[in-house]
Amino acid sequence: MAVDVAEVVAELKATYTSGKTKSCEWRESQLKALIKMANDHEKDIIEALRSDLNKPEFEAFVHEISTVKSSCKLALKELRRWMVPEKAKTSSTTFPSSAEIVSEPLGVILIISTWNYPFLLSLDPVVGAIAAGNAVVLKPSDIAPATSSLLSKLLGEYMDSSAVKVVEGAVPETTALLEQKWDKIFYTGNGKVGRIVLAAAVKHLTPVILELGGKSPVVVDKNINLEVATRRIIGGKWASNCGQTCVSPDYVITTKAFASKLIDALISELEKFYGKEPLKSLDLSSIVNSSHFERLTKLMDDEKVFGKVVHGGQRNKTNLRIAPTILLDVPEDSLIMNEEIFGPLLPIMTVNKIEDSINVINAREKPLAAYLFTNDKKLMDEFVGSVSAGGLCINDTTLHLAESSLPFGGVGGSGMGSYHGKFSFDAFSHKKAVLKRSFAGDIAARYPPYTTRKLQLLKALLNGSILGILRALFGWCGYHQEFSPSLRPPFTDGVLGLGSGETSILSQLSSQGLIKKAMALCSSDKNGPGYLVLGDSLSNSPYITWRSLSNNHLELGPADILYEDNLLVSGLHFSLDSGTTYSYFSPAIYQAVLSQVKELASKAGTPVVDPYLSVCWKPLTSSDNFLESFGSLYLSITSDNTVYFQLAPVDYLAISPLDNVCLGILDSQELGPESENLNIIGDLPLQQRLVIYDYENQEISWGDADCSDLPVQLSSPDMHPVKKRKGESHKGNDISRLHMRKKRKQNFNSP
């Protein structure tokens, strides 16, 4: 072994430790050097690729040289932006704080390349590793010796040799490299060697990216532009290194009725591209060596595919050439259908219905790529939703690799990890989490000695209520809706004054005669504004509904729950909380509402699993039609004269990001056993409603409002935004709720 691998690694580690590779200027200088190298030695690179693979100059330039240069140019353009720490949102748990994600280099990277695109697949990952600020060892493939030798020479001349090195050789050199401890290993090649690389990496807990391969299928539907489709299949198969490409079409699936048309079209286009004697064509690459030639010959000569060749089959062992070959209806247990072909052979399988192709694909290992040619949107959607592969391309082949905004990588047996564009930078970076806090906002409840009260406080905080945050920062509030009465602490009134104590800002200002002891809150949807007002109660306004509260905490009731005119539950006591996203009912009440909703939903949609909420339906037509099939729920408050709090369909049904319709009312047991008897009307129904708390009179009011329009004088009826009710004693109070909010998709945050 000519190179002392341990010495190479030690030098690179010293360079990285010095911090040299971390500067943006060093990274940019190395990327520019790669571009200059490719420009200065374009002819040498093309000649090396011709020597190794008999690769046409066109393919050498387009597929390899220009792609490497494009990767360098993109990294140079975007590098400084990629290096900027990414701002991250913080939660109530760490308030007050700020957070960011810092991309830092991993260290010293080993890149083991392959032979089929020996220039591109050696340098493309190097670009990402350098852009991320790492030191690199490149091990090119010995199966492409001319390109390997050229890379060793040129990188030594153009790159910083203290940080970027090339180690040539075969199995002994690769084995020696894998014995070293790396910060990441990037391997491109077959699954057999990939397992060896992974096993070596496990010894040092080294992360890996494995770019492997697999049998990439092409599904061809009828009623397509057949000429364009066949040209694109040929382009991804034979015009891409004679099928020696990890994402080349490996086999085709079409219907029995359409197979003959597809074969005729392929033969016609192949003759246009390579003539009637393709073995003499200068535009067709050779097989890389005699070993791979013999392997491909064995696939064709398998007795199970005897008589299945419908085009091609010619071969020239001396020149390592095999003509484009098409086979029809080869058996599933044949050799050619049980290993990646990686050559110019293309089997065609037939099915009765094109939809059956998805089951054929899914019965195999997950491929590196999968392709579909169709004009049927339903089939496209089913293909994208049902076929698991490293990447998909619709109505073309291999072209998704050219899009730098898409990650390239495998899944399952076709590999792990991805790169290309920004994904290359990320692949060789550690995403370091950074949280910054001041010395303010220290919460005593997080420290021993632990008490029941501290546990209750932290549960309230972690449940996501804005009021829980205020309790944590400023002390206990009297508004303890999260707890059953037996668990409520002594009543104070915290910072906002939501209770009967006299310690809040509201209480202090009120005691000095500066403001009334009242507050108003109005909130829009997630993208809209809102407002909080202290000291004005609208107590003289005829435009809103007022109700008396219980003495010690802000609850309404008793109330009946009705669906339209049907009584569901009686004796409900509930609170209004705009700090909780969804509404919560105690188990018995929740089940009564759930049964009613399920009965109605069965006529408008089908049950579906949705990650956002536990009870959801897929609408039969549209979410709008689904909502229109529901009526309102009413909370009929009967303590004085009867008034109603209306829950229109958009108040208790939420549209998820998956366009499912979900029940926005949850079982209070989800908040913990101490909340079993809790009933909350949360943020969903309170949006575009003004809620006013009057502590002097122990009353609460609500009314529909435009929360984007802060009134000049809340207590003046002609200036505030609250809409007049049709009447306080019947179920028309919350007018136009469906009209106001029907089109809005709800914000799915943690409740």
Tell me what pLDDT residue 734 has: 35
Contact 369/361 with Cβ under 8 angstroms? no
Record the tokens describing residue 646, joined without a space. Answer: 């209306």
Report d(CA 550, CA 485) in Å as an integer: 12
What does the domain layout of the chain look like in residue ranges? 5-12+22-212+427-431, 217-403, 446-511, 541-741
Residue 338 CA to its chain's centroid (Å): 32
Q: Look at the chain and count its residues.
A: 751
Report d(CA 154, CA 295) in Å as an integer: 33
Contact 706/721 with Cβ under 8 angstroms? yes
Tell which phi-psi region holds residue 107, choosing left (phi > 0), alpha (psi between -120 and 50) or beta: left
Tell me what pLDDT residue 306 has: 94
- Bridge partner list, 703: 690
Between the alpha carbon of residue 418 and those of residues 110, 112, 125, 667, the distances in Å are 16, 15, 10, 41
Phi, psi (rounded to 5 degrees) for 636: -90, 105
Between the alpha carbon of residue 616 and those of residues 95, 479, 605, 649, 661, the distances in Å are 33, 32, 9, 14, 6
SS3 content of the chain, % helix, strand, coil (to 5): 35, 20, 40
Record the tokens describing residue 87, joined without a space. Answer: 């701002």
Dihedral angle over CA of 297, 303, 304, 309, nearest 10: 60
687-691 — which CB contacts under 8 Å span 24+ positions? Answer: 687/523, 687/524, 687/525, 687/741, 688/524, 688/525, 688/740, 688/741, 689/522, 689/734, 690/520, 690/521, 690/522, 690/544, 690/720, 690/721, 690/722, 691/520, 691/521, 691/522, 691/576, 691/578
* 3 state SS of 520: strand
CA angle 346-64-407, nearest 5°? 75
Residue for token digits 């935004």? 721
Domain 217-403 CATH superfamily: Aldehyde Dehydrogenase; Chain A, domain 2 (3.40.309.10)
Tell me what pLDDT residue 636 has: 86
Tell me what pLDDT residue 747 has: 37
Tell me what pLDDT residue 475 has: 40
Residues 6+ apart with CB under 8 A from 291: none
Between the alpha carbon of residue 614 and those of residues 229, 578, 624, 666, 670, the distances in Å are 44, 21, 20, 8, 11
Tell me what pLDDT residue 662 has: 92
Contact 452/738 with Cβ under 8 angstroms? no
Residue 449, preceding peptide bond in cis (omega within 30° of 0): yes
How confident is the model over 519-566, as pLDDT tens digits?
A: 787 877 655 667 777 776 554 544 455 555 554 456 788 889 999 888
Record the tokens describing residue 552, joined without a space. Answer: 């010690």
Report CA torsion sign: 418, 422, 249, 61: negative
Report d(CA 322, CA 324) in Å as an integer: 7
Please determine, looking at this structure, whether the domain spanning 5-12+22-212+427-431 carries the CATH number 3.30.70.1140: no
Amino acid in the structure at residue 231:
R
Instruction: Name the architecture of domain 541-741.
Output: Beta Barrel (2.40)
Dihedral angle over CA of 576, 581, 585, 586, nearest 10: -110
Tell me what pLDDT residue 300 has: 96
Report d(CA 432, CA 133) in Å as an integer: 15
In b/e form, how buried is each residue of 483-494, taking b as 16+ CB within 10 angstroms? beeeebeebbbb
DSSP 139-200: E--TTSHHHHHHHHHHHHHHS-TTTEEE---SHHHHHHHHTS--SEEEEES-HHHHHHHHHH
Catalytically active residues are: 211
Tell me what pLDDT residue 537 has: 53
pLDDT less than 70: residues of the chain: 1-2, 453, 456-457, 460-505, 525-529, 536-554, 578-580, 639-641, 672-675, 710-751
Element containing residue 99 per DSSP (H, E) = strand 97-105
Report d(CA 152, CA 304) in Å as an integer: 45
Phi, psi (rounded to 5 degrees) for 85: -55, 140
Record the tokens describing residue 550, joined without a space. Answer: 């219980």
Residue for token digits 């469906």? 738
Phi, psi (rounded to 5 degrees) for 16: -65, -45
Report d(CA 702, CA 651) in Å as an integer: 15
Report d(CA 449, CA 289) in Å as an integer: 74
CA angle 527-749-671, nearest 5°? 140
Report d(CA 281, CA 287) in Å as an integer: 14
